Amino acid sequence: MDRNVMKQMLDEKVKNVEQIVYQFLPEATGWQRTVQEAMNYSVQAGGKRLRPLLIKEVYELFGGTGREIEPFMAALEMIHTYSLVHDDLPAMDNDEYRRGRKTTWVVYGEAMAILAGDGLLNFAFETAVKAFDYVKPEEMPKVAEALAVLGRKAGIYGMIGGQTADIEAEDRQEPLTSEQLLFIHEHKTAALIQAAMMIGGILGGADRNEIKLLEKCAYNIGIAFQIQDDVLDVIGDSQELGKQVGSDEQNHKQTYVTIYGLEKSTEDVEKLSKEAVEILQSFSRRNEFLEALILDLIHRRK
Q: Are 223 and 182 in contact (CB under 8 A)?
A: yes
Q: Is 162 in the site for its own copies (CB under 8 A)?
A: yes
Q: Are 157 and 186 in contact (CB under 8 A)?
A: no
Stretch that binds its own copies, among 66-74, 133-141, 193-201, 209-217 (CB under 8 A): 133-141
By CB under 8 A, the residues from 80 to 109 that bind its own copies are 82, 86, 89-92, 109
- Applying CB under 8 A, among 160, 234, 245, 297 the residue interacting with its own copies is 160
- The sign one gets for the Cα dihedral 296, 297, 298, 302 is positive
Q: Is 260 in the site for its own copies (CB under 8 A)?
A: no
Stretch that binds its own copies, among 24-32, 48-56, 200-208, 255-263 (CB under 8 A): 24-32
By CB under 8 A, the residues from 53 to 82 that bind its own copies are 82
Q: Is 148 in the site for its own copies (CB under 8 A)?
A: yes
Whole-angstrom Cα distance, residue 135 to residue 138?
8
* Least distance CB 168 / its own copies (angstroms): 6
Q: Is 165 in the site for its own copies (CB under 8 A)?
A: yes
Task: Enter the DSSP assignment of 189.
Answer: I
- Applying CB under 8 A, among 2, 4, 31, 174 the residue interacting with its own copies is 31
- Applying CB under 8 A, among 12, 137, 209, 263 the residue interacting with its own copies is 137
Half-sphere exposure (CA, 13 Å, Cβ side) for 52? 31
CA distances from 138 to 19, 134, 135 (A): 29, 12, 8
Whole-angstrom Cα distance, residue 228 to residue 251?
18
Q: Is 5 in the site for its own copies (CB under 8 A)?
A: no
Task: Enter the DSSP assignment of 175.
Answer: P
- Applying CB under 8 A, among 8, 23, 32, 282 the residue interacting with its own copies is 32
Whole-angstrom Cα distance, residue 283 to residue 75?
27
By CB under 8 A, the residues from 170 to 189 that bind its own copies are 180, 183-184, 187
Q: Are 196 and 218 in contact (CB under 8 A)?
A: yes
Residue 300 phi, psi dihedral angles, 5° rounding: -60, 155
Please list the helix, strand and coil fractions of the chain in percent, rounded to the nearest 5, in that order. Answer: 75, 0, 25
Q: Is 242 in the site for its own copies (CB under 8 A)?
A: no
Whole-angstrom Cα distance, residue 263 to residue 284?
35
Q: Is 118 in the site for its own copies (CB under 8 A)?
A: yes
Q: Is 114 in the site for its own copies (CB under 8 A)?
A: yes
- Applying CB under 8 A, among 6, 21, 39, 224 the residue interacting with its own copies is 39
- The sign one gets for the Cα dihedral 236, 241, 243, 247 is negative
Binding site for its own copies (CB under 8 A): 26, 30-32, 34-36, 39, 82, 86, 89-92, 109-112, 114-115, 117-119, 121-123, 125-126, 129-130, 132, 137-138, 140-141, 143-144, 147-148, 151-152, 154-157, 160-165, 167-168, 180, 183-184, 187
